[in-house]
Amino acid sequence: MREYLKFYIDGQWVDPVTPKTAEVINPATEEVSGTISLGSPDDVDLAVAAARKAFATYSETSVKDRLDLLETIQAEYLKREQELGEAVMEEMGAPRSLACGFHTLLGKGHLGTAIEVLKEFKFEEQRGVTMLRREPIGVCGLITPWNWPMNQTCVKIFPALATGCTMILKPPQLAPYSAQILAEILHASGVPAGVFNMIQGQGSVIGAALSKHEDVDMISFTGSEPVGVQIQKDAADTVKRVGLELGGKSAWIVLDDDAMAANVAGATAGMMGNSGQTCSAGSRLLVPAARMDEVKAAAAEAANGVTVGDPQGNFAMGPVVSKSQYNIIQDYIEKGLEEGAELIAGGLGRPEGLDKGWYVKPTVFVGTNQMVIAREEIFGPVLVIIGYDDLDHAVEIANDSPFGLGGYVSGNDLETARAVARKMRTGAIWVNGGFDFHAPFGGYKRSGNGREWGELGFHEYLETKAIVGWG
């Protein structure tokens, strides 16, 4: 049983101003796995004051000093990487192979990328008679979600540290454990007092207090569209910068070629990863309508082959994060059935043999792009297959969405795949797989604004000053 009752403020573990706690539920067992404290606006005031004070000195540190700090953090992270994975498995239900694999690898990767970028980053650049100087924006409020806790936390913290900012982290209430361990890593690494602060609690309380606070210069938020909209409203009075990475309903276009069935199977299995709880998941699979029978067979076989069970076992998929999330997903599956979508795999209820835990069947529908299950983000292992007549039609369907976060194109003809990718209105597109920590990530339309990952992730935390007459 875990018990994390203190916050990290000004380089120390401190008690909340007003004691209040909440239980954390293990989604695989439905049992209490630990207790955390819930913060208040008074805690936010203390953390912001510490960050503001620390900014005066930390913002003036040299690139070498910040590189040394990040490399020390890197060594400490490696020491506790296994613990971080175990925490992710327990808090949000990712299978061990995923939690102790890709989840922690993402955190480690963002740290290594921040080091690589910082070594080459130009904080000053002369253009003619003008010096462009990039300076840290100030005190940053970092608000992170539960679905990829290490990824979303590390992709904010390390660029902020690298650029000379100070920060207050508000981790997800549903998945608070890994952030607690990460705070311990930062403390052990000698991060100066006040540079990094962490307060656990409710987003509606801590997130709102950070967004409204006059001494917070920037908010970086990853989460749902409605919360992102509210954060923008809360931040408007102080005209602070707001970076948002919000929802998605990403299209995966499979080209009509001899690899189609294999690509459909890969896309289907990929959608079920992390229990479908990925903002950029390819939840709309666009396929040649003339080959729908082949598509159905390949997708059903792939979905039925996804094993579901205890995260500590050898399964491909664990539970979804909470009872509330489970119920939301069940409602969407019911809605798909009511809309007349054809169910070819999965469906309502838990998988056979799983009577406890928030497990969802890997579910595949064949439907249209106008159905609710194709318009709204379900955030679970539910895939909607949609037929297209030709590639122009496929692109039209892909772009007919209020979201624009991720996209995928699979096919043998690379030039055709590239041409399709160019036409998709979305922030990141993966052509035949691939992975790059330096590729910027962020959304078009209602999927948010700003970019994280790599060099562009640094710019989120920087102001640009023009010193005219320098030359």
Active site residues: 245
CA 112 from chain centre, in angstroms, equals 18
**Which H or E run includes 153?**
helix 149-163
Output the six-digit token pair for 106.
Answer: 């993402």
Phi, psi of 277 (to 5 degrees): -95, 60
Of 189, 202, 211, which is closest to residue 74 (Cα–Cα)?
Answer: 189
Round to whole Å and give the CA distance between 393 and 49: 54
Strands 130-136, 12-14: pairing is unpaired
Residues in the chain: 471
**DSSP state, 24?**
E
Q: What angle do CA 237, 240, 242 make, to 5 degrees?
A: 115
Please state at what angle helix 81-92 crosses helix 63-79, rounded to 10 degrees: 70
Q: Is residue 167 a contact partner of residue 160, using CB atoms and an 8 Å limit?
A: yes
Strand partners, 428: 406
Q: What angle do CA 192, 83, 311 make, to 5 degrees?
A: 140
Round to whole Å and give the CA distance between 99 and 321: 13
Round to whole Å and give the CA distance between 83 and 103: 12
Round to whole Å and give the CA distance between 210 and 297: 50
391-424 burial: b if 16+ Cβ within 10 Å, else e = beebbebbbebebbbbbbbbbeeeeebeebbeeb
**DSSP state, 204?**
I
> Burial of 464 by CB count in 10 Å (0-12 exposed, 13-18 middle, 19+ buried)?
exposed
Amino acid at 345: A
Q: What angle do CA 158, 276, 173 make, to 5 degrees?
A: 50
**Could you count the other beta carbons within 10 Å of the beta carbon of residue 20?**
14
Q: Is residue 319 a contact partner of residue 95, using CB atoms and an 8 Å limit?
A: no
Rg over alpha carbons for the chain, rounded to the nearest Å, is 23
Residues 6+ apart with CB under 8 A from 9: 43, 46, 47, 50, 197, 198, 199
